[in-house]
Amino acid sequence: MTKQKVYDIAVIPGDGIGVEITDVALEVMNKVAAKYKMQLNFTKVLAGGCAFDKYGEPLPAETVVQCKKSAAVLLGAVGGPKWDTLPGDKRPEKALLGIRAALGLYANLRPAKIYDVLKGASPLKDAIIESGVDVLIVRELTGGIYFGERGRRAENGVVTAFDSEAYSEKEIARITHTAFAAAMKRRKKVTLVDKANVLESSRLWREVVAKIAPEYPEVALNYMYVDNASMQLVRNPAQFDVILTSNLFGDILSDEASMITGSIGMLASASMREDSFGMYEPIHGSAPDIAGKDLANPLAQILSAAMLFEYSLGMSEPARNIENAVEKVLEKGYRTGDIWTEGFTKVGTKKMGELVLAEL
């Protein structure tokens, strides 16, 4: 008899709609786990505004400890206007930076895909997206200008602020391997997005990536400046497969790519380290204005769970099962408010989850 596989999963529901969309995703994960004869042990922990309310810190030490003991982390959303007046080191968003650093999550994988049945939600013309949009942005997450030296100084009585962009060969190499490995499972094309005509750090990126590329002979590599890439994403998004880029550029481009799809309520993400460990979360925020009203779209969280099965548990079939179930529900015309248009059936958070469960 085959021994049942057991996995410990840390769950951070967070704030706002994070709680309700996470509950829906856990039901989906439990059904998939039963189908594939595995056991998932979920442990809920606090981070974000709710953690500050209880502990006076957005990222309690026990949360980090539990995450480190787990095979993966599923995160809902953190933040909200309730905590906007807190000092920077106490704000909910600080928990995200803190947990990424504590867990060594250096690679952010952000897919941006337009489902055929949702093409009407894209702000781009039909002629532009008729070839489809399926882009994976691989963003370096723990280096660059967000983590570089910063400060202020007075020069001749004038205050000057500075932020430094710095990358080591090692930091660039490990994210490059992540991008090329992802491309091997997709359409085998990597576009390095940088600003090598101006920035020395970008020139180092090109040197390191060029050295690593021959290790993946099946993958085509091309280069693009970030200003051109931002234009090409709205001009001809179908040309991109995997976009590899730095923390700052990835932050901007991934948000642009999400807008192309028409709804941030549909987009998942993963933050990974060298091994299979990762943290999975929808890209949308905590939406406190609709929290607790059964209005939130849980599909991005459900698709984040699919990524968890794929990348951390190494199980592609359950991941495809979840993705196909989501697509079938959409094909049958069900929509939450954020993606609803005339002629479709509007449903709430719980009902959308039930529909996905029925398709699994």
| Domain final position from 203, 234, 261 | 261
Instruction: State both tokens at 258.
Output: 């999400």
| pLDDT attached to residue 10 | 98
The span from the CA of 172 to the CA of 204, in Å, is 8
| pLDDT attached to residue 173 | 98
Q: Residue 111 pLDDT more than 60?
A: yes
Q: What is the residue type of 24?
A: V
Is residue 89 situated within a structural domain? yes
Question: Mind listing the pLDDT tens digit for each residue in 183-224?
Answer: 998 999 999 999 999 999 999 999 999 999 999 999 999 999
What average pLDDT does range 294-310 have in this prediction?
96
| pLDDT attached to residue 116 | 81
Active site residues: 146, 195, 227, 251, 255
Residues 147 and 241 placed together within one structural domain of the fold: yes
Question: Mind listing the pLDDT tens digit for each residue in 223-268?
Answer: 999 999 999 999 999 999 999 999 999 999 998 998 888 777 889 9
Is residue 235 situated within a structural domain? yes
Residues 200 and 229 placed together within one structural domain of the fold: yes
Instruction: State both tokens at 114.
Output: 């337009």
Instruction: State both tokens at 192.
Output: 């390095």
Question: Mind listing the pLDDT tens digit for each residue in 27-47?
Answer: 999 999 999 999 999 999 999
Q: Residue 320 pLDDT more than 90?
A: yes
Query: Based on the number of CB atoms within 10 Å of its own CB, is 179 exposed (0-12), middle (13-18) or buried (19 or more)?
Result: buried
Residues 78 and 127 placed together within one structural domain of the fold: no
| Domain final position from 221, 245, 261 | 261
Structurally, how many domains does the chain consist of? 2
Residues 287 and 245 placed together within one structural domain of the fold: no
Q: Residue 2 pLDDT more than 70?
A: no
| Domain final position from 214, 238, 261 | 261
Q: Residue 76 pLDDT more than 90?
A: yes
The span from the CA of 20 to the CA of 307, in Å, is 19
**Residue ranges making up the domain that contains 176:** 123-261
pLDDT > 90 fraction of the chain, expressed in percent and rounded: 82
Residues 95 and 12 placed together within one structural domain of the fold: yes
Is residue 244 situated within a structural domain? yes
| pLDDT attached to residue 187 | 96
| pLDDT attached to residue 119 | 82
What average pLDDT does range 116-138 have in this prediction?
87
Residues 3 and 40 placed together within one structural domain of the fold: yes
Q: The CATH number of the domain where 315 resides is what? A: 3.40.718.10
What average pLDDT does range 77-87 have in this prediction?
93
- Which of these ranges, 14-18, 103-107, 341-345, has the smallest mean pLDDT? 341-345
The span from the CA of 150 to the CA of 159, in Å, is 13
pLDDT > 70 fraction of the chain, expressed in percent and rounded: 99
Q: Residue 1 pLDDT more than 60?
A: no
| pLDDT attached to residue 129 | 87
Please, what is the end-to-end C-alpha distance for the chain in angstroms?
25
Residues 246 and 131 placed together within one structural domain of the fold: yes
Is the model's pTM score more than 0.85? Answer: yes
Residues 181 and 305 placed together within one structural domain of the fold: no
Residues 13 and 67 placed together within one structural domain of the fold: yes
